[in-house]
Amino acid sequence: MPTAMPTLGEPPKSSPLPGVIISALVAGLVGGGIYWWKTAPAREAAAQAVQAPAAPVAVAPGAEMAAAVAPAAALPGVAPAGNAQAVLTPPAAAPALASDAPAGVKSFEIQIHGALEQAIVGQVGKSVGPALTQVVNRALVWWVSVPGDLRKNDTLWVAYEERPNQEPLVHAVRLVSGKAAKTFEAYRYKANGDMFSRLYEPNGQELEERLVDAPLDTYEQVTSLLRDGRRHKGVDFKTPIGTPVKATFDGVIARKTWNFRGNGNSLEVVESGGKGRHALFLHLSEVPGSVQPGQRVKRGQVIARSGNTGHSFAPHLHYQLMSASGAVLDPFDSHPTERVTLAQTELLHFDQEMKKLAAMAGSGQLAGAGR
């Protein structure tokens, strides 16, 4: 028979639940006291064991030193146990990564104590070092004589990129020169509209000088100078095959493609007007059939195309200048020269690229503040 529910106004019936709870609490207290009394001897023995010195443990030779200097692992922000003087600090932030640096670019810094190539090879290895040294030298020669002006303890920092089947590309170079008592530096940047990237000093001026009456309107880099110590008789301009080659002064074609094995396709122009300078253009890809000895040419006239013929290992133009008596002349002394400066609209972008590269050196001293 189901239990009748109370009707409205009827006093509720008493519940047995309070009595059950009280009985359970009493039973629990009694049981806990009995357990505490029975386990007291075991707790006392354990306390004595903790206070007793630990038994010696055999340690392998050298392990004591490692244990002494290697701190125990700890959770970040948690004080070591038993150290009342410890200060709880948040975990240190991870070092910032140079994520803005160009992909694949590496850097190194050396102090010069002997041969530059030896020092660079010691940093980057024999597979890259010799070629990288040549590329670095091409930058340094615009500032100092190499190796004559290099001094012991001069500091050189280089950011570079290795390229398959090509010479390394220098993205930045910084030389602290003892002889000049100053710091030289340059950073790679590709100006808007330019075919090639170039090295620029912090003030936005191009590192390399340019010939005002140059044989090429565009080229990637000067790869050889008379003053670079290689005893080369001309200036080599690294440029793609087929780049238009121009006469550097008014003159007459004297010779065409002689000694092909060494010079490849080539031209010689003798200057008009009494000066009698001779200009040689070597390793050309082609010389137009219309260009013949005895023909008069004007300064700036296209007379050929650059190439990689004859004794040449990469596309370039060899430009050689000689006096009427046959003495070798330095084109950068004989021709007017200029240095290109980045347009004002380019300087902000250049500063950004320069800072990305300079950050790799970790010096914190970014050039360009004096612009």
* Cβ neighbours of 257 (radius 10 Å): 17
What is the pLDDT at residue 67?
A: 33
Neighbours of 272 (CB within 10 A): 16
230-263 residue pLDDT tens:
778 999 999 999 999 999 999 999 999 999 999 9
Burial label for 220, CB within 10 Å (0-12, 13-18, 19+), is middle
- For 309-364, write each residue's pLDDT tens digit: 999 999 999 999 999 999 999 999 999 999 999 999 999 999 999 999 999 986 44
Domain ranges (residues) in the chain: 104-208+339-363, 211-337
Residue 230's pLDDT is 76
Which amino acid, one-letter code, is at 267? Answer: L
CA distance 184 to 144: 10
pLDDT score for 29: 54
Q: What is the pLDDT of residues 53-106, one digit of tens each?
A: 444 434 333 333 333 333 333 333 333 333 333 333 333 333 333 456 678 999
Residue whose C-alpha is closest to residue 220's, from 197, 241, 243: 197
Closest residue by Cα to residue 206 from 367, 343, 365, 345: 343
More confident residue, 90 or 41: 41
**Cα torsion 94, 99, 105, 107: sign:** negative
pLDDT at 228: 79
CA distances from 366 to 97, 173, 183 (A): 18, 13, 12
Digit-coded pLDDT (tens) for 118-167: 999 999 999 999 999 999 999 999 999 999 999 999 999 999 999 999 99
Class level of CATH domain 104-208+339-363:
alpha beta
Residue 365 CA to residue 355 CA, distance in Å, equals 10
If you count them, how many residues does the chain have? 371
Q: How many CA atoms are closer than 13 Å to the CA of 368, on its beta-carbon side?
A: 19
User: Higher confidence at residue 27 or residue 308?
Assistant: 308
Confidence (pLDDT) at 38: 54
Q: What is the pLDDT of residue 265?
A: 97
Model pLDDT, residue 93: 33
Residue with the bigger pLDDT between 109 and 228: it is 109
More reliable by pLDDT, 51 or 310: 310
The Cα 96–Cα 45 span in angstroms is 54
Question: What's the confidence (pLDDT) of residue 322?
Answer: 96
Contacts from 11-20 at CB under 8 Å and sequence distance 24+? none
Longest distance between any two alpha carbons in the chain, whole Å: 140
Among 6-15, 95-104, 362-371, which is the least confidently predicted range?
6-15
Is 80 exceeded by the pLDDT of residue 39? no
pLDDT at 207: 98
The predicted-structure confidence for 166-190, as pLDDT tens digits, reads as follows 999 999 999 999 999 999 999 999 9
Is pTM, for the whole model, over 0.85?
no
Taking each helix axis as running N to C, give the angle between helix 129-140 and helix 116-124, from 0 to 180 degrees, rounded to the nearest 10. 130
Q: Are 277 and 340 in contact (CB under 8 A)?
A: no
Q: Match domain 211-337 to its CATH number in 3.40.50.720, 2.70.70.10, 3.30.43.10, 1.10.1270.20.
A: 2.70.70.10
